[in-house]
Structure 1
Amino acid sequence: MNYQTFQPHPDLSAIVNFYWTLEVPFDVNNSKQKIIPDGFIEMTFNLGDKIKRYTSDSEFILHPCAMVMGQRTKSYYIEPTGDVNSFAICFYPYGFSNFVDTPLKNLVDKEIPLKDLLGEIAAKELEKKIVNASNKQQRIKIVESFLLNKLNEETTIENIVKTTVDALYLANGNVPIKDILKEDLSKRRQLERKFAKQIGVSPKQLGKVIRLQTALKMLLNNETESLTNIAYKSEYYDQAHFIKDFKEFTGVKPTAFLGNENMALSTLFYK
């Protein structure tokens, strides 16, 4: 697997986390890969063969060639039907709402064709440019030109949402919303509504995903560390709480994650 990441233009760095590319030659022995929630929203262009997303053990749908993947509340399996060649924009949780009018709660746990969000003409034009680009750097220039032009048409994200997301990341997801709002507790319902529209999930749900990512990276990079220490450093109440949350999102216990062939892609993404 050839996985690469690229940093965005400074004018987009507050909205776009990074760009990534993934190239995987087809192999009949390749196994299904489990994708774990990461708190981000992604715009993905599939330049290779079709990719299956399983909706049950045996049933699947095919990913659109150009799509937006909304916030995830649960893990899922994907499997390529041939060669993989993907290019994607990874947006911060509050970033993508700058470019669409659709409430992001409508995108949760879904892959939405780009044309349904940007309009058929604009989506087809962008997809055509991305497909015909000669290399990764040119694709980045194309998408950055599109995003910067689009950004000038939209209003900026409201400060209450960005402040909350920033605080959650700073605390690795483990901070009560009342502590973020301080004396402005009357804004809690307002915040919940704005999160549903601009992020897609609640502050509490995003915080759980961020905290899991902190623990997951620790698990991958310190494989010999005990689960008790990882739970403590990730600020879980105890090891049992950590294992419960981990299994809720990944479907397996932490000890079953390492070395699992179905987790190879997630390990590559999160390590």
Structure 2
Amino acid sequence: MKAEIFKPSASLSKYIDSYMLVDIDWHHTTDVENVWRLIPYGKVSMLFLYGDPHEYSLKGVTESMQYTRRAFLVGQLIQPIWLRFTGHTRLIKIQFKSSGAQQFLPVNMEEFRNVASLDLEALWGWDTAELIEQLEESLSDEERISKLNGFLEKRLLPQTNLIDYVDYTIQHMKSHNGNLSIKGLEQKLGISTRQLERLFRSKIGLSPKEMSKLIRLNAAFSSLRAEPEISLTKLSYEAGYYDQSHFSRDFKNIAGISPTKLFSRSSQELFVTHGECFVK
């Protein structure tokens, strides 16, 4: 099993967090589960597969799971997605920053809301298939990263000043773990609630309220990972909730399981958020 993180080129680093290269031969791997549950975390990703495809579903592990395309986009999820891997997985995942994906896609990002596998050939044409061939034929991971950088640099769109409003708001949300008054930021930015809402939906595919909630709940996941025995009272309070039932409901909506059952449940799944496993 191999999973390595690479940084994008300097010209792309403002929009892309990282590239993750994964190489797992499931015929010879027993130390990691082959079913993963991905938890929404407010970022769009793209995957290029040059190994065997995997199955996905928004409804759990079922007989009706579908196979992914060889190159696809995962939009802004508002619920968990289940993945099931078989064969030999070889892929590159592009992890965009919260507002990064729209710099490569001349469309309203809300179109990709809760989309688990959008065919990139439909967006970028045959160049996508050619890139996959190049990734498969490359002799090293460094060569693959170089080809991917070149591919994306050609598709980088001019940046508008409007995205600065979104980035500024998200930065402040994260610095407060999502517990932040949006109205106070609107006054600093000099724009209305409606304008900010419209910008968020078009540039990242979520409303400010939804993004804030994802940041709060992912902070709770981090607390659970660091302190598995944390009480529900403390966990909900740290996440900015004063009503435990409200916290548990929001948590279950995006994780598919309540916080009290997360660690008591014997699972054959790997729970993943921000690209990292937080429970086995």
Fold equivalence (TM over 0.5):
yes
Q: How far is 1:147 from its partner?
A: 2.4
Q: Is the 8 A contact 1:34 1:262 kept in 2?
A: no
What is the identity, as a one-letter code, of the residue corresponding to 1:206? M
Deviation at 1:265, TM superposition (A): 4.7
- Indicate how the Cα distance of structure 1 residues 4 and 261 shifts in structure 2: closer, same or farther if over 3 A, else same: farther
Deviation at 1:37, TM superposition (A): 0.6
1:243-262 equivalence runs, <5 A: 243-258=248-263, 260-262=266-268
Contact conserved, 1:5 with 1:20, CA < 8 A, in 2?
A: yes
Whole-angstrom distance in 2 between the partners of 1:134 and 1:81: 24
**Mapped partners of 2:98, 2:184: distance in 1:** 20
Cross-structure match for 2:121:
115
Cα distance, 1:20–1:265 mapped onto 2, change above 3 Å: farther
Distance 1:262 1:200, change over 3 A: farther
TM-score (norm 2): 0.86
Bigger helix fraction: 1
- Counterpart of 1:244, as a letter, is R
Displacement of 1:39 in angstroms is 1.0
In 2: Cα distance, 1:260 partner to 1:128 partner:
40
1:155 maps to a residue whose letter is Q
**Correspondence list, 1:98-177, <5 A:** 98-110=103-115, 111-118=117-124, 120-151=125-156, 153-156=157-160, 158=162, 159-177=164-182
Asked if 2 retains the 8 angstrom alpha-carbon contact of 1:102 and 1:117, the reply is no
Runs ≥4 in structure 1, deviation > 4 angstroms? Answer: 27-31, 183-186
Instruction: Identify which of 32, 49, 53 aligns with 1:46.
Output: 49
Q: Structure 1 residues 38 and 17, CA, compared in 2 at 3 Å: closer, same or farther?
A: same
Root-mean-square deviation (CA), in Å?
A: 2.4
The 2-side partners of 1:134 and 1:179 are apart by 52
Structure 1 residue 74: Cα displacement: 0.5
Cα distance 1:107–1:168, how it changes in 2: closer, same or farther (>3 A)?
Answer: same
Question: Which residue does the alignment assign to 2:39?
Answer: 36
CA 104–115 in structure 1, closer or farther in 2 if over 3 Å, else same? same
More off after superposition, 21-30 vs 221-230: 21-30
Q: Secondary structure of 2:90's partner?
A: strand
Deviations 1:239-266 (A, max 9, x none): 3332221111111112322364344151
Question: CA contact under 8 A between 2:79 and 2:255: conserved in structure 1?
Answer: yes
Q: Percent identity?
A: 27
The offset of 1:106, in angstroms, is: 0.9
1:157 to 1:43, Cα distance in 2 relative to 1, 3 A:
farther
From 204, 227, 230, give the equivalent of 2:232.
Answer: 227
Letter in 2 for 1:36: I
